[in-house]
Chain A
């Protein structure tokens, strides 16, 4: 993790402000949150955003079936008021990620709100409210306030511009592809015992492939996959043939494939 990102994460803890991570797909935005959770030795609660994400799926929902069952079982009894009170208790509540992260008892959790740009603008506005108050009100239960303010990380792939209000609530960090040595380090960590020379060579290759005009630029996950493939095949060096054979691991489109094989490989020799 770069020093800058570390500083931003540190600051977010000090100021209890969410972090907004932006960057190209595959630069490790999501794993930054996972790493933070691991280093804090706490739970990672993840909310994956998508078009049409609503309150039911993000915050809470009543366990409707269980409530019905409870009513059915107590049909003979006359204490209606008691039953009504019971079925709107905590055990009939299905906690979705946002509520989970707030109601967690033991210490703060890391809340990852992934790809916030995919959610509707309405949801974004709603999120704003939660991120500033860290409390959720449920009409039947009352307001639940966070015991420990969760560490919030939002990621965005920039498919749309986020609202200024949301951006203002967050610390901003643009995450770029790691540099040569950082990526080597990542690969060495993910695949212990890999040949150092091989790592060096493949990282520099993948970095120059990233510089090409491709439709889908390979991310860090691709380079780890590639390293794994090369180790599996028992390669110690990357020849032209090997590259051609294993290119499918890093490139996911026919045009990119053709482009790299025809133009780049010819030129590079």
Chain B
């Protein structure tokens, strides 16, 4: 990289603003106040040496570790162009090629819904269509019903959100004076309440960590599960979500209606690795290594949505799960296959995981997802 000294004359307010604009395009948040401060900082004489100049810009423009590589890349590009005399008007275009959103993910391709499946969902008993759909396995939903199911899901999730919110709010009241205890304590002080007793503030809600399997075998379910996770996001401020198939990906920043598209985008980028099968164990190990120290506190609740069809070595899975179990309060595994008649958790992956789980539940239809509410209420 070029290490030439930067000529003070070349660093004009204009070029700094251009540089900041380039950073903004990459998603860094820099307000006009920062720009002013950058210029102030530079006015104190930090422009002379490239390293000082860079440091000044870096500390003001970056807000977290993930901003650093973006900054480094742009800085080298931009200020090299600048000192080459290309002129400050040259706009640096470095935006990554926009990834096209992919529809493959949903598995809702035409013609995939066979006759037999249609039969299946019809044969499910239930009073009404709504009732029936609630109990229908996600993978068996007819295409005509898909829209209705979306609607029901939205409704039910909303109801659940409402119920949970109310109860959580009630229990999370702040510290208030405990009159009875205060009076009781004052007796020994001649009736003077010198020591006030407060109701202990309820500890903040626990952290919820979601690990969502998006491998090929799960594709019929992952769409609904993702919707469910987005609902959970509204309820739990402390949520961290990851997707995995052959690679682990942190999706927490995109957990909202807007970000859903971005998540699909990211998933479709991983599509090529689908043929490789699911490496649950290895992905969980990556999770442990990279994130567990930050996100797993002893009181976290970990939700794993996966069918447990492990194609890697199960040793990894066992070790990783033990690690997670030790650092969390509850480890809950939700397996869509559990809803299948006659399903036995005998595959290598699931059989290995079972002894380490606190709860093993199904996640194949709306009703089964709603059952999770009872556990989450105590979180």
Binding site for B on A (CB under 8 A): 3-4, 7-8, 11, 14-15, 17, 19, 22, 51-52, 54, 64-65, 68, 72, 120-121, 157-162, 164, 167-168, 170-174, 213, 215
Contacts and interface: CB of A to CB of B under 8 A. Distances in A.
A11 B59 contact: yes
Given A14-B44, A15-B37, A22-B65, A164 B29 contact: yes
B294 A7 contact: no
A162 B46 CA distance: 28
B46 A64 contact: no
Contact of B59 (A8, A168, A215): A8
Contact of A68 (B192, B203, B294): B192
A7 B55 contact: yes
B37 A160 contact: no
Contacts of B293: 215
Interface string B9-50: 000000000000000000001110110010011001010000
A75 B63 CA distance: 56
B76 interface: no
A52 B60 contact: no
A168 B204 contact: no
B163 interface: no
B41 A14 contact: yes
B34 A168 contact: yes
B63 A167 contact: yes
Contact of B196 (A7, A54, A64, A170): A64
B237 interface: yes
16 contacts: A7-B56, A8-B55, A11-B56, A19-B59, A51-B203, A64-B194, A65-B195, A68-B193, A72-B192, A158-B294, A159-B294, A162-B64, A167-B29, A168-B29, A171-B60, A172-B63
Contacts of A65: 194-195
Interface of B: 29-31, 33-34, 37, 40-41, 44, 46, 51-52, 55-56, 58-60, 62-65, 67-68, 175, 192-196, 201, 203-204, 237-238, 289, 293-295, 297
Contacts of A174: 65, 68
B31 A168 contact: yes
Nearest to A213: B289
Contacts of A8: 55, 59
Contacts of A213: 289
A54 B176 CA distance: 13
B217 to A, nearest CB: 29
A121 to B, nearest CB: 7
B46 A52 contact: no
B11 to A, nearest CB: 16
Nearest to B67: A172
A19 B62 CA distance: 12
A167 B196 CA distance: 37
A15 B41 contact: yes
Nearest to A17: B37
A211 B46 CA distance: 35
B175 A54 contact: yes
A65 B189 CA distance: 11
A19 to B, nearest CB: 8
Interface centre among A7, A72, A120 (most CB of B within 10 A): A7
A266 B68 CA distance: 37
A161 B64 contact: yes
Interface centre among B46, B201, B293, B297 (most CB of A within 10 A): B293
Q: Which of B33, B55, B56 has the most CB of A within 10 A?
A: B55
Given A68-B192, A168-B29, A7 B52 contact: yes
Nearest to A160: B238
A255 B265 CA distance: 38
B282 to A, nearest CB: 13
